[in-house]
Structures are given as C-alpha cells and as structure tokens.
C-alpha cells in the first residue's frame, strides 16, 4: 500500500489474466486522454484473449512483467517491461508506463516506475531497461531522469502527429 501526494491509497500489484479486460479499457482511455502514447483511443489493437495470454505469460516470465496501480480496486495506471527473446539480447527489456489523466502529477508515475525498476534490480537477468519517449513529453522525461534514466539516442522524426514530425528519444537505465 502506498499514498499519493493527495493521500489517496494506491496498491501496486502484478496484473493477472483476469485484469485483461480492464487493462484494455485503460489503454483506450489513456490513448484518448494523451497523444504521448503510440496508441490512440482504440487502445492496443489486440483481442481480449491475446491480452489474457500475454498477462499469463508475463506472470510466468522473469524479464516480462506487467504491474498495475489500483485505487478502490480499479486500475488507474500501469507499468510494464517486455523482455527480448534472442539469447544475445535477452538482458534488455523495453518499458512502458501510463497513468489516467485524473491521477497525473500526484506521484503515481513515480511509484509505478520505482516499483518496476526495483523489480528489474532484483532479477539477475536484466541489465538494460530501455524506453522511448517523444521529445516534447516533458513530464515523462522529468520522471525518467528523476529515476536515473539517461538519454542514449534519438530517432529523428519517428512520430508524425497533427501535421508535424517529432523525434523519439531513447532512454536507458543500466541495472
């Protein structure tokens, strides 16, 4: 149990296959509330069965994990790492995070990211935690730099949004 800046109680836990439907709804909502994610109001373009399967596999895996934040039993944010499969790159994971707009700037992003990074630290398998962030996503960049992520690359013009190209930045935390 953790407290947000406004004293709201939040529980962080690993997502279970039973959370699949609610998670897909969360992705649709955050995708419609923010242009900062690659997904839009359609959320993740996968079926409920595929999401259930993904969460089951994540429960059993080490380098793929999906954590959710629940307030009064309802999912309000998530943070996940996805491990690489090839033997030469399996020490790398890709991280993604989202929080419902209603809960922004209350410390939830920090709590979710810390929880996920702490998990990565206790595994022996993970060396590099990578993430991608659009160059103008200032709050996300502040969050990542606060937790020690360093900018290691730029993908010029990767994002095209509302008639404009944006760079996508690559951030890395070495464990």
Ligand X SMILES: CC(C)(COP(=O)(O)OP(=O)(O)OC[C@H]1O[C@@H](n2cnc3c(N)ncnc32)[C@H](O)[C@@H]1OP(=O)(O)O)[C@@H](O)C(=O)NCCC(=O)NCCS
Q: Contact residues for ligand X (CB under 6 A)?
A: 30, 34, 36-37, 97-99, 103-110, 133, 137, 139-140, 142-143, 146
**Do residues 77 and 66 lie in contact, with contact meaning Cβ atoms separated by under 8 Å?**
no
- CA 32 vs. chain centroid, Å, equals 16
**Measured from the CB of residue 76, what is the shortest distance to ligand X in angstroms?**
9
Output 17 or 168, the one with its CB closest to ligand X.
Answer: 168
**Do residues 79 and 131 lie in contact, with contact meaning Cβ atoms separated by under 8 Å?**
no
**Measured from the CB of residue 104, what is the shortest distance to ligand X in angstroms?**
4
**Do residues 117 and 173 lie in contact, with contact meaning Cβ atoms separated by under 8 Å?**
yes
Output 42 or 56, the one with its CB closest to ligand X.
Answer: 42
In terms of Cα–Cα distance, which of 65, 62, 63 is closest to 79? 65
CA 150 to CA 112: how far, in whole Å?
Answer: 18
- CA 17 vs. chain centroid, Å, equals 17
Output 99 or 126, the one with its CB closest to ligand X.
Answer: 99
**Do residues 79 and 37 lie in contact, with contact meaning Cβ atoms separated by under 8 Å?**
no
**Do residues 10 and 69 lie in contact, with contact meaning Cβ atoms separated by under 8 Å?**
yes
Closest chain position to ligand X (CB)? 109
**Measured from the CB of residue 37, what is the shortest distance to ligand X in angstroms?**
5
In DSSP notation, 31-62 reads: HHH-SSSS--TT-SS--HHHHHHHHHHHHH-S
Output 66 or 106, the one with its CB closest to ligand X.
Answer: 106
Output 82 or 106, the one with its CB closest to ligand X.
Answer: 106
**Measured from the CB of residue 31, what is the shortest distance to ligand X in angstroms?**
9
**Measured from the CB of residue 54, what is the shortest distance to ligand X in angstroms?**
19
């Amino acid at each position: 149990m953790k407290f947000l800046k406004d004293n709201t109680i939040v529980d962080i836990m690993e997502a279970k296959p039973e959370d699949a439907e609610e998670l897909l709804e969360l992705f649709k909502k955050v995708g419609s509330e923010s242009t900062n994610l690659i997904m839009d109001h359609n959320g993740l373009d996968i079926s409920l069965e595929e999401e259930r399967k993904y969460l089951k596999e994540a429960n059993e895996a080490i380098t793929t994990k999906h954590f959710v934040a629940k307030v009064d039993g309802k999912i309000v944010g998530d943070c996940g790492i996805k491990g690489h499969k090839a033997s030469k790159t399996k020490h790398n994971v890709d991280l993604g995070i989202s929080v419902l707009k209603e809960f922004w700037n209350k410390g939830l992003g920090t709590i979710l990211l810390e929880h996920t990074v702490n998990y990565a630290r206790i595994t022996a398998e993970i060396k590099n935690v990578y993430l991608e962030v659009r160059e103008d996503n200032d709050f996300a960049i502040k969050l990542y730099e606060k937790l020690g992520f360093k900018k290691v690359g730029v993908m010029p013009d990767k994002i095209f949004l509302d008639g404009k190209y944006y760079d996508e930045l690559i951030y890395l935390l070495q464990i």
